[in-house]
Chains A and B, each alone.
Chain A
Amino acid sequence: MGKMVTVDPVTRIEGHLGITVEIEDGKVKDAWSSGTMARGFEALLEGRDPRDASFVTSRFCGVCYSVHQMASVRALDAAFGAEVPWGGTLLRNLAMGAEYIYDHILHFYHLSALDYIDIMAVAAYKGRDEDLNALKEKVVGLVKSKDTFPLTPRYKPDEFSVNDPDMVTSAVKHYIDALAMQAKARNMGAIFGGRQPHYQSIVVGGCTQYPDVNMVARYRTMLDEIAEFVNEVYIPDVLAFGTGPLFPLAKMGLGGGHYNYMSYGALELDKDGKEWVFPAGVINGLNPADIRVESFNPDHITESVKYGWYRENKPVHPYEGEQVFELDKEGAYTFIKAPRYDGKPMEVGPLARMLVAKNPDLMGLVEKGAKPGVVARHAARAIETKLLLDACYKWCDQLLSEMTQPGFKIHDTDHYEPPEEGEGAGFYEAPRGALGHWIKVKDRKIQNYQAVVPSTWNASPRCEKKYRGQYEESLIGAPVPDPDNPINVVRIIRSFDPCLACAIHLIDPQTNELKDFIVE
C-alpha cells in the first residue's frame, strides 16, 4: 500500500472538504473526497411557504448564491404555473450575468492563482513600473517584519510554479486589482438583484425591481469598466500563463478525470429561448477530434448513497430519493451523495459547458495540444467571462427596448400565491456547473425539496458500480513527488472551483419519512 496523505481542510474553496490520496512511486494511486459539514436545509424547508425556498436555498452557498435562487425560482415557476414575462427574464439575466463574471474573476485570482505562482519572486522584480515597485516594497516589508500572512505558509513551489519576477509581480498586482473588480461586478448585479451577497429581488414569477433608464445606464457604465479589466488583464493573464509556463501542465492533462461532461443549459439570449449562452448537452467519453454531444434528459439522473452517511438505498432519481442520516454507517466517508447520469459520473462546470458548446476558442487550445484538465478549466472560465460580457450588453439593449413597450411587465402577478398542489424542477448552470432543484407543494406548503448541485456531481464519492467521483478520478496519476507537499492535489481540486456547503443535504432524520416523487 502506498503512503496515505490527507489534505483537510482543503482551503480557498467554499465549504468544508477533505481529500485523502494514496501515493505510490510519486503518483496518486487512489483518492477519496469527503464533505464534512451538513446543515439540513432541505429538511427545514418542509412545511414552509414555498416562496421561502429561493431565499433559504440562496444560503446553500455565499459565493454562488444567486444561481441557487434562480434554480429555486425556476422550480417554483413550474410548480406555481407562473409564466415569467420577458422583462422579468431580462432582469434576472442581468443580475445573473454579473454573478458569473465576479465568480470567475474571484476564482482565478483569489482562489487559484496562489497554487501556480511563487509569490516570493516579487522580491526579485527589477523593472521600472511604479506600481509594481510599490508592490515589491510592500512584499519585502512583509517578509522583513516576518508577517506574510495570509500569503504564507504555503506548499513549496514546484517545477511547474511560475517564478519569473515580472510575470509574478504583475499577477500579484492583478490579484489586488481583481479584488476591487469582483466587488464592482457584484454591485453591478445588485442594481437588479437587490442586496448582495444573497439577492433579494428574484422571486417566483419574475423580479421585484421595476427598472428605469438610469439603472440600465449605471449597469452599462459598470460593465464597461469590468469589460476593460477582463479584456486587458484577466484574459491576457490566463492566456499568458496557460500557453506559457503552465502549458506543460496543460499538455500532460493534469486533473483530467472521467472525460464525461454535462451541461443543463442556461441564460436565454432571446424571447423564445431559442439561443442560450450555455447550451445543454452530454458528452460520454470525450474524443477531442470528434466531439459527440447527446441531448440532456433529466430522467436519466440518479443519486447513490452507498458511500454517504445516509441510510442504505438503491440509486434513485432525485424525485424519488430518501435521505436519512446514518452517521455510523460502515464504509461511508462523506455527506455528499453520488449523482450519476445513465449510471455514469459526470464533470460539470465551465470546461463541460464549453466542450458541449464546442466553443471555438477552447477548440483552438485543444488543437494546440492542451488536454482537458486543470489548465483547460481555467481557460474555459476566461472564455465564458467574455461570452457573458457580450450577453450582458445584449440584455441591456433588449431591456431598454422592452421597457418602452406598452404593457411592459416584470412579474407574473396572477401566479404569486402558492398552489394547493404542484411540483416542478428548476435546472440552471452555476458558475461551477449543472444545478437542479426539485420541489413538491401540497396544501400550499413545501412537501419535499431536493437539490443536486454542481459540487455534488464533481465531489461525489464512489457509487455501486465503484466509479470514483470526478474529483477522485481526476487525481489518479497526478505527480506528488513529495508527500509532504501535495501541491498538485490542491491544484486539481481547486480547478473545479469547489463549493461544498451546497453539496451536502439531508432530509429530516427524526421522521425517517420516505419521500415519494412522481416525475411528470
Chain B
Amino acid sequence: MSGLFGDISRRDFMKYCASTAAVLGLSEIEFVSKVSEALAASSSKPPVVWLEGQDCAGCTISLAGALNPPVSKIILDKLSIRYHETIMASAGYLAEATLEETIKAGGHVLCVEGSIPTADDRFCMVGGRPFREILEESAEKASVIIAVGACATYGGIPAAGPTKGVGVGKIVKDKPVINLSTCPVHCDHLVGSILYYLATKTAPELDRYGRPRLYFNELVHDNCRRRYYFDEGYFLTDWNDPKQKNWCLYEKGCKGPDTYADCPVRQWNDGLNFCIDCGAGCMGCSEPSFYDGMSPLYTAESERSKNIMARKKAGLIPPKEKA
C-alpha cells in the first residue's frame, strides 16, 4: 500500500492520453512526459470550482467511481477542490465565502453539473441566490469551463420539463464550453479532459456540439459488438431466450446508429460492461436531442427508430464490412 498518495503512474496517463497524443501529433511518450512536467511544475494545484444546478449528483458519483487513477488522488493530489457541494467539508457561509474568494481570484477550472432553469430562477436557488447568477459570476474569470453530463451540456431531462432547463452554453455565451455529454458523465471523459487542459492549457478539439472528438467521434453503432446481427436482421424480441442473447437491440429501442460516443470501446464500470452488453439498448444520452428526441426509450416506436430502419432498408446504414 505504499504510494498511497503517490503520483498518478505513467500507465494511468497512457490510458487516458494515448489518443490525446495522436490528436496533438505527439508520440505517446512525449505526451506523457509533457503532462507529467506540467503537473510537477505547478507547485500549487489548479483550483477547481464544481457547481451543481438542476442535477442529481449522478455525475459526481460517476467521478467517484474512477479507479484508475483513483478518485482520491485526483481530488487530493492533483486538484485543489475549492467548492463542491457534495464532497467539501464546509457548509453554509464558509462554503459560500470560499467560492467567492476563488472566483474573484480567477484562473480556476469550472465544472458544472446540472441544468439551469429558464422558466423562473427560483426553480434553482443556492445560498438564497439564483443558480444562474452564481454560474455567470463563476464563469467570468474561469480559465476553462467544462459542462459535465447531459443536463449541463444540453439541458438533458430537465429540458423536457416545465422548468425549461438549459445547458451551460446557453447561459455563458462569451466563452467556449467543453461539453461532456452522456448521462451520467463517464469518469474517463472528465478526468481525461481535465488532464488534457492541465497539460496543454487549451481545450481538446471539439465537434460542432462542443464535445471532444477524442470521445465522441464515432457512432456507438459502428463499434457495437452486436453490429453483425443488425446487418443480418436478427433483432432480440425475448430477453428470456438464450439464443437471442447477443442479438441487436433495435426492437428494444436502441439508438446506437444515431449516437456518437465511445461507450462500446471504452466501456463503463471500470471496463466491466455497458448498457448494450447488458441487453439494454443505447438511449442516445450523449446527443444534444436527449432526452426528448430519444423518447420513447425502450421500444422502436419512436420516429427516430422508424427512421433508423428506413435508412437501413435504403442501404444508408451499410453492413460493417462494406462501410
Partner-B contacts on A (CB < 8 A): 6-16, 18, 36-41, 43-44, 48-49, 51-52, 55-56, 59-63, 65, 85, 106, 110-111, 114, 119, 130-131, 134-135, 138, 142, 145, 147, 149-155, 173, 176, 179-180, 182-184, 186-187, 190-198, 200-201, 203, 206-210, 309, 325, 327, 408-411, 413, 486, 490, 501-502, 506, 508-510
- Inter-subunit contact A51/B122 (CB<8 Å): no
Nearest A residue (CB) for B50: A150
- Inter-subunit contact A200/B283 (CB<8 Å): yes
Given the known interface contacts A12-B91, A36-B125, A413-B238, the answer about A131 and B56 at a Cβ–Cβ threshold of 8 Å is no
- The list of the 3 closest CB pairs from A to B, nearest first, reads A62-B58, A49-B296, A208-B279
Give complex CA distance A134, B161 in Å: 50
Which B residues touch A40, using CB under 8 A? 123, 158, 161-163
- Inter-subunit contact B163/A209 (CB<8 Å): no
Which A residues touch B297, using CB under 8 A? 49, 51-52, 55
Report the minimal beta-carbon distance from A500 to chain B, rounded to whole angstroms: 10
A10-B91, A37-B53, A195-B269 given; name 17 further pairs at CB < 8 Å: A8-B128, A12-B88, A39-B115, A44-B157, A51-B298, A63-B57, A149-B80, A153-B90, A153-B94, A155-B91, A180-B72, A190-B268, A191-B272, A194-B280, A208-B279, A209-B280, A411-B239
> Which of B13-21, B27-35, B62-70, B217-225 forms part of the interface with chain A?
B62-70
Asked whether B54 is an interface residue with its Cβ less than 8 Å from the other chain, the reply is yes
A-B contact pairs, 23 of them (CB 8 A): A8-B127, A13-B86, A37-B124, A39-B115, A51-B297, A59-B156, A119-B89, A149-B80, A150-B88, A154-B90, A154-B94, A179-B72, A183-B66, A187-B65, A192-B278, A195-B268, A200-B278, A203-B280, A206-B239, A410-B239, A410-B240, A411-B239, A509-B162
Which B residues touch A49, using CB under 8 A? 295-299, 301
Which A residues touch B239, using CB under 8 A? 206-208, 210, 410-411, 413
Q: Which of B52, B64, B242, B301 has the most CB of A within 10 A?
A: B64
Asked whether B112 is an interface residue with its Cβ less than 8 Å from the other chain, the reply is no
- Inter-subunit contact B2/A152 (CB<8 Å): no
Task: Tell me the chain B residues, 60-119 only, with Cβ under 8 Å from chain A.
Answer: 60-62, 64-67, 70-72, 75-76, 80-82, 84-92, 94-98, 115, 117
Give complex CA distance A502, B245 in Å: 34
Nearest A residue (CB) for B236: A208
- Inter-subunit contact A150/B163 (CB<8 Å): no
Which B residues touch A61, using CB under 8 A? 56-58
Asked whether B165 is an interface residue with its Cβ less than 8 Å from the other chain, the reply is yes
Asked whether B59 is an interface residue with its Cβ less than 8 Å from the other chain, the reply is yes
Give complex CA distance A190, B160 in Å: 28
Which A residues touch B95, using CB under 8 A? 9, 11, 153
Given the known interface contacts A9-B91, A110-B87, the answer about A59 and B296 at a Cβ–Cβ threshold of 8 Å is no
Nearest A residue (CB) for B131: A37
Report the minimal beta-carbon distance from A185 to chain B, rounded to whole angstroms: 10
Asked whether B145 is an interface residue with its Cβ less than 8 Å from the other chain, the reply is no
Q: Which of A36, A39, A190, A194 has the most CB of B within 10 A?
A: A39
Nearest A residue (CB) for B45: A147
Report the minimal beta-carbon distance from B182 to chain A, rounded to whole angstroms: 9
Give complex CA distance A150, B76 in Å: 8
Which B residues touch A130, using CB under 8 A? 1-2
Q: Which of A106, A134, A210 has the most CB of B within 10 A?
A: A210
Nearest A residue (CB) for B186: A195
- Inter-subunit contact B75/A150 (CB<8 Å): yes
Binary interface encoding of chain B residues 150-194 relative to chain A, with 1 for a CB under 8 A from any of its CBs, else 0: 000000111011110100000000000000000110000000000
- Inter-subunit contact B158/A190 (CB<8 Å): no
Which A residues touch B183, using CB under 8 A? 59, 198
In terms of DSSP, what is the predominant structure of the interface of chain B? loop
Report the minimal beta-carbon distance from A365 to chain B, rounded to whole angstroms: 28
Give complex CA distance A110, B86 in Å: 9
Which B residues touch A410, using CB under 8 A? 239-240
Asked whether B207 is an interface residue with its Cβ less than 8 Å from the other chain, the reply is no
Give complex CA distance A134, B90 in Å: 25
Which B residues touch A36, using CB under 8 A? 124-126
Which B residues touch A197, using CB under 8 A? 58, 61-62, 65, 184
Q: Which of B1, B43, B52, B162 has the most CB of A within 10 A?
A: B162
Give complex CA distance A208, B240 in Å: 8
Task: Tell me the chain B residues, 197-225 only, with Cβ under 8 Å from chain A.
Answer: none
- Inter-subunit contact A183/B89 (CB<8 Å): no
Report the minimal beta-carbon distance from B185 to chain A, rounded to whole angstroms: 10
- Inter-subunit contact B55/A62 (CB<8 Å): yes
Give complex CA distance A315, B187 in Å: 43
Which B residues touch A210, using CB under 8 A? 239-240, 242, 245, 279
Give complex CA distance A7, B127 in Å: 8
Give complex CA distance A125, B128 in Å: 41
Give complex CA distance A198, B291 in Å: 14
Given the known interface contacts A13-B86, A183-B71, the answer about A510 and B126 at a Cβ–Cβ threshold of 8 Å is no
Binary interface encoding of chain B residues 275-288 relative to chain A, with 1 for a CB under 8 A from any of its CBs, else 0: 10111100100000
B86 contacts which of A7, A12, A114, A508 (Cβ < 8 Å)?
A12
Give complex CA distance A486, B93 in Å: 11
A6 contacts which of B58, B92, B98, B117 (Cβ < 8 Å)?
B92
- Inter-subunit contact B44/A147 (CB<8 Å): yes
Asked whether B307 is an interface residue with its Cβ less than 8 Å from the other chain, the reply is no
Nearest A residue (CB) for B263: A195
Give complex CA distance A413, B240 in Å: 8
Report the minimal beta-carbon distance from B215 to chain A, rounded to whole angstroms: 15
Q: Which of B61, B70, B115 has the most CB of A within 10 A?
A: B61
Nearest B residue (CB) for A154: B89
Binary interface encoding of chain B residues 256-269 relative to chain A, with 1 for a CB under 8 A from any of its CBs, else 0: 00000001000011
Nearest A residue (CB) for B249: A208
- Inter-subunit contact A179/B90 (CB<8 Å): no
A62 contacts which of B4, B57, B87, B278 (Cβ < 8 Å)?
B57
- Inter-subunit contact A131/B4 (CB<8 Å): yes
Which B residues touch A176, using CB under 8 A? 4, 72
- Inter-subunit contact B72/A508 (CB<8 Å): no
Report the minimal beta-carbon distance from B293 to chain A, rounded to whole angstroms: 13
- Inter-subunit contact A55/B4 (CB<8 Å): no
Give complex CA distance A180, B131 in Å: 32
Which A residues touch B67, using CB under 8 A? 180, 183-184
Which A residues touch B263, using CB under 8 A? 195
Asked whether B12 is an interface residue with its Cβ less than 8 Å from the other chain, the reply is no
Which B residues touch A60, using CB under 8 A? 56
Give complex CA distance A34, B274 in Å: 37
Asked whether B270 is an interface residue with its Cβ less than 8 Å from the other chain, the reply is yes
- Inter-subunit contact B61/A208 (CB<8 Å): no
Which B residues touch A44, using CB under 8 A? 157-158, 160-162
- Inter-subunit contact B162/A43 (CB<8 Å): yes
- Inter-subunit contact B86/A11 (CB<8 Å): yes
Report the minimal beta-carbon distance from B142 to chain A, rounded to whole angstroms: 16
- Inter-subunit contact B5/A138 (CB<8 Å): yes
Which A residues touch B52, using CB under 8 A? 16
Q: Which of B1, B184, B280 has the most CB of A within 10 A?
A: B280
